[in-house]
Amino acid sequence: MKIIEQHLTEIEPTWQEFTLVNDNQTEVSFLNYGGIITEIKTPDQDGNVENIVLGFEDYRDYTANPAFFGAIIGRVAGRIPNASLPINNQTYQLSANEGINHLHGGPNGFHSVLWEAESFRTDHSVGVTLTHRSPDNDGGYPGTLDVDVTYELDNQNRFTITYHAKTDKTTPLALTNHSYFNLSGNGKHTVENHSITMPSKRFAELDSNFIPTGNILDAAGTPFDFTNGRHIKGSIESDHPQNKIVGSGYDHYFLFVNRVKPDVKVCEPESGRTLTVTTDEPGMVMYTSNNLDENLKLKSGTSRNYMGLCLETQRHPATLSHSNFPPILLTPEKEYRSRTTFTFDTED
Catalytic residues: 178, 312
**Beta partners for residue 91, in sequence order:** 86
DSSP secondary structure string for all residues of 64-93: T-TT-TT-EE-SB-SEEGGGEEEETTEEEE
**Beta partners for residue 49, in sequence order:** 43
DSSP annotation of 143 reads S
Q: Using CB atoms within 10 A of its CB, is residue 198 exposed (0-12), middle (13-18) or buried (19+)?
A: buried
Overall residue count recorded for the chain in this entry: 348
Helices (H), ranges, 173-308 = 232-236, 241-245
Contact between 272 and 47 (Cβ < 8 Å): no
Contact between 71 and 36 (Cβ < 8 Å): yes
152 membership: H or E segment, kind and range: strand 145-154
Contact between 340 and 279 (Cβ < 8 Å): yes
C-alpha dist (Å) from residue 145 to 5, 89, 320, 332: 28, 21, 19, 10
Contacts (Cβ under 8 Å, ≥6 apart) of 84: 91, 92, 93, 94
